[in-house]
Structure 1
Amino acid sequence: MSEKNWTRRAALGLIGGGVGLFATETSGFTTVDTPRNAELGTAPDPDGLLGVTNTDQTVTGTMDEEVTLTTVTNRFGLDFDDVSVTLGEDAPDFITTVSAPDSLPANEDGGEAVRVEFVGCPTTTTEHVDVDFVASGPDYSVEFSRTFTVKCVVPEPAKCPVTVGDGAINGDEFDEGNQKGNSGQAVINKGKTDGEVAGDITIDNLNIKINNVRVSGNVTGKKIRINPNTSIGGKITAFNSVVIKENSVVCGASDKAIDADGSVTISGTVNGDVHAGGDVTINPNGKVEGNSDKAIDADGSVTIRGTVNGDVHAGGAVTINPNGKVEGNVDAGGSVTVNGKIVGDVTPQGSVSGNEAVTGNDSQEQSMGEGEDEEEGDEEGNEEADGEED
């Protein structure tokens, strides 16, 4: 029998021979339990009966990044039909979820990944995390714990221009022919690309999600989601909606940075104009640096909680919430609610209300009544802003 070709009888025999494991067998049900940091088998953890990697390494991640914590390989010679992995009680706050394979078939090579998701940290931090494993079959199970070192990194702010190295993955590798998709979605992350893609990514028939990657060119797809720590060197073209998360940047091309048939939500930085067939929302950390006459041109309504440098055109209403700011003119097909700041003129098709004044023309003062009517306008403006926040 080779060292790695374990059967149930051989595994129990080895356990009974005293290698730091504990085993009992009652009515055909076997439990194998190990104290913390005990080896599974006679070899170090990666080559044990249940091979566990990364116990002597630091696993690094950043905000909204899912990384492989360890790889578990089953060498018992018995299939484990159910696998459960849980974080210890003192797990660091920057890790919230852990995912494991549903089962562990008996094999000698390969293994299955156990992954954790980093939610971000205020400063770069290194901590330890305990992970409890339970793998079971019809009449047997294995339970053990391992301690891993994890490091949460605060990335450098995303910025333009976007440069990639000679070893960057070519964007053509993410065309329709190479993307089967995951529930209609193509996920492009650091693990697939080593963090760099050279050229354009065009996947017309799928939604696209990009995590923690620098892309030197343009991105074209259906729904497009740019997650934190992602930089797009060109523009985004979407046949549906676009979401830009925090600490991400879209540098734009030929003035235009985003051209979407649907809605656009921005929590990062967009250097260029935004064209949307639906509504546009600029969240508190969001920023749009327009490059032409219209920084935002939306067929729907526009809600601004962040900053827009340039003119805003909306087919519907425009709401500037507290701390929101527009350095430019606002042209609205509906009403305008100003609870933030507008440095420019306002041209509404409806009324202008809110708690703040407009630095420009006096359309707000002209469109409001006096006394009781003005108070009602303020109240309606606040209710609308609060509704948008929710």
Structure 2
Amino acid sequence: MIANTLPAFSPPVLDPSPLQEEFSAFLELPDTAHQVSWKIKDAVRRNNSLATELLFSKACSGSPLGRASASFLLALYSGKEGASNDLMLQLGKDSLKLCEIVLSRNARKASSDQWKIAPKILVMAGLETVGNSQVRSNIVQEIKEQEIFGYLIEENQIDNSLFGLNRMITDAELNLVSARLNDLTQHFHFNDARKVTTEAMASGEIDQSALQQLLPYVASIAPNSGRFVPLLMDDHWILFGIGSNTSGEKFAMAFSSLEELKPHHAEYLNALGGAAGVSHSLMITGDLQRHAPNACGLFVTQAMERIAECYEVNKDSIASDLEQFIDSFQQSDWQEQSLFNRNGRAGLYGVLIDAAAMRDEGTYKIEHQHSDPYSQKKQPAG
């Protein structure tokens, strides 16, 4: 049995300040509390080392407040909640150091006297490790023992490749992002990810049965609504959707993180749009994977989040938002792009962890955090 808590954290004595008062109040919160105060969050955003240490300590308590602390740290690490690149890098170092200390201690203790590391901290630390290093193997073993992903990732798939930065994003991750966004958006629906077979692409024909399987109800889609689905085509994730604007005019569009679609992919997607009554599909593409190998699924989730934030279903508006993301990402340097690839994967693992925990508790609500720095929420006209 692994113990649930780390030793109580005792902050150093500081000169009186508004922050010290806030730190003391945080330490006095009952473990049943569900939120971290905005002052503590703001201090962590500004890379205040004591505030960060407080949250790391609380994150390992296993309490509701501990889970809220871990969720906020992971949100920052994955590029959300207004985190700077420097803060993301520091949180990675801090999480790895914490894991190294705890795992080293646990190796010398009986199972009844071992400390438990918060699942989201394990994910952050794991992504900071290199190759088949011993510390990565130790973190993977800890993940297996805690079963942090439940049945969402098969046990035989949990190995050192879990933290490879060229790992393909799975349909389970995409489906959970879809489920989260469907709870938040009014006009859009995101379907479960599908694989398009080689045979289906070769035939070039799509009947209503195939259309209904990939995008249910689009044949009679209501005005000001849209339905999107991640499609796996030759080991590359592409987002495809059918929308209907406020006047009921249909449109079809696809998003890909490669510079251009393969001809047979474009043909299939145009045929898919045609089956829904749209003569031509808009293809939005960008060369995004130079420093983010096999991150096509991660980019699809980013596209989904931007679409979900649109206030109305409008082809030009959606296309503009996606093209702005592509331009902004391409203008960032290789280090920022690499950071996006690594830390964005942590965010997807966080969604899996939440889903596994909440299914165990009998609830399916998945936590939502603000979009990453490349996103700007579209404001309503006027």
Structure 2 length-normalised TM = 0.27
Structure with higher strand content: 1
Higher relative contact order (CA 8 A, sep 6+): 2
